[in-house]
Amino acid sequence: MPKPSCLNIGAYFLIVMGLTVCFGWYNQIDSLIQIHPDFVPMQFNTALGFVFLGLSIFGINYEYYFAARCFASLVFLLAFLILIQYIFGFNIGIDQLFIEHYITVATSHPGRMAPNTALCFLLSSLSLWFLTYFPPRIKFLSTASILSAFVTGFGTVAFFGYLSEVETAYGWGMLTQMAIHTSVGFVVAGFSLIVDSQCISLRRFQRLPFLMLPITSGIVGLTITISFWQSLEGSESMIRAECVNYRHNLISEGILIMGVIFSIVLGATIWLTQKYKEQVMKLKQAQYQILQLNSQLEKISYLDALTGVANRRLFDVKLSQEWKKAYNNQSYLGLIMLDIDYFKNYNDYYGHRKGDECLKQVAEAICEVVRSENDLVARYGGEEFVIILPNTDKQSLDAIALRTLNSIRQKSIPHENSPISKSITASLGGYTIIPEYVGLSELENFMNKADQALYEAKSKGRNCIVIRSLDK
């Protein structure tokens, strides 16, 4: 989404243009008021309206909605009073309220903005009111976009009217005409307001109203088409009145038909494009959710449901991976096998529910010692646990095994049915080696060595540790 600094480009343009024309009126610099001596000047009130319009857009972009609404209200009041004067044919004294106008080219009332200019200001102020409604609503943002589309259309028609020298495109009858730089201002203002409505929609609702862009585009096209058609019809009527033998042509009708078709096709194309993007987005979201579910299922399939540590399946995968790494790096790989002493007696005495709680506590005690990301604690089966320890020689393996045994002892899990202790104990056997081969038989031999060490610890009376290595 564009940042406020990017969105403010249009507001900067409107304010600078308005202030420049105001400066030109106060200092009587004609080149700042008129683009060309034969063109209509931008009236002082028009320039003031653009300044207020730009400040209101600033307020919207920085979410100062009250200030934006105040400036929009000033624009509305100015435009409404101008239109009232045109409709009812009286003067309430606001045309030259701030300054006396000395340039009156194509001006029916000195200082009074053109009626189409006032209409564009009125539509712009209404659009701003809808944009400043808080909290925003989708229907208000859509309405603001549509009103702004009309403003853009009227400004575009007037601008191209100047380029094509069709006066009826920027002037209504004998009334004051819209200045060329005024038309540019409304194109910029309308476009800025359309962008603002879409950005607010994306920021607040993370989506655009589905028909906002197609309808807005279609209205811009239809407004331009109909305005051009009316302009050409007006010009043709004037020529017909002056020329007795004037022969009617179908150019204006052709432009109207082609413009309407183009506008409808443009809106439909944008709608279909949005529909396609929406389907693609939904498909991507569905794929992402499937990937997440697969990832979660994979994690679940590798965990022991009771203790939360790795299960036998993950142990087999991890041991094979670490065996190959240790072979390639010629580094030590340690394996500890742990068996809870007299666990069957525990289950018989306390029951299986307590037995499950005991397994959880033992797993917790092991994990408190073995915390490295490269290490792995897994439940091997029943009351047996295994610990994979990469880069661990015999001395380090012995130290980790001792800390693990002490951690279990410190849990002080009662075991009244044990012949060796009043609390849960464990026997640990470990083996560490630098692999010389990567075959399956060598890996199985490695596990057998650790299992033999565990058997030896049990033979010594349990509640003890036996660690072996290739050297000894």
Active site (annotated) includes residue 383: yes
Rounded to the nearest 5°, which phi and psi values hold at 134? -130, 135
Q: How far apart are CA 98 and CA 92, in angstroms?
A: 13
Q: What are the contacts of 448-456 at 24+ separation with CB within 8 A?
A: 450/335, 450/336, 450/337, 450/386, 451/337, 453/337, 453/429, 454/337, 454/338, 454/339, 454/427, 454/428, 454/429, 455/429, 456/429
Q: How far apart are CA 137 and CA 312, in angstroms?
A: 55
Strand partners, 338: 385, 428
Q: Longest Cα pair distance anywhere in the chain, in angstroms?
A: 127
Determine how β-strand 426-433 pairs with β-strand 465-469.
parallel
Q: How far apart are CA 357 and CA 365, in angstroms?
A: 12
CB 330 within 8 A of CB 434: yes
CA dihedral (288, 291, 293, 295) positive or negative:
negative
CB 364 within 8 A of CB 306: no
CB 376 within 8 A of CB 324: no
Question: How many CA atoms lie within 13 Å of 194's alpha carbon, on the beta-carbon side?
Answer: 22
Tokens of 229: 């058609």
Residue type, 84: I
Q: What is the DSSP letter of 208?
A: -
Closest-CA residue to 405 (of 472, 467, 468, 315) = 467
Which residue in 63, 253, 383, 384 is the catalytic one? 383
Residue type, 313: R
Q: How far apart are CA 348 and CA 27, in angstroms?
A: 104
The residues annotated with a catalytic role in the active site are 383
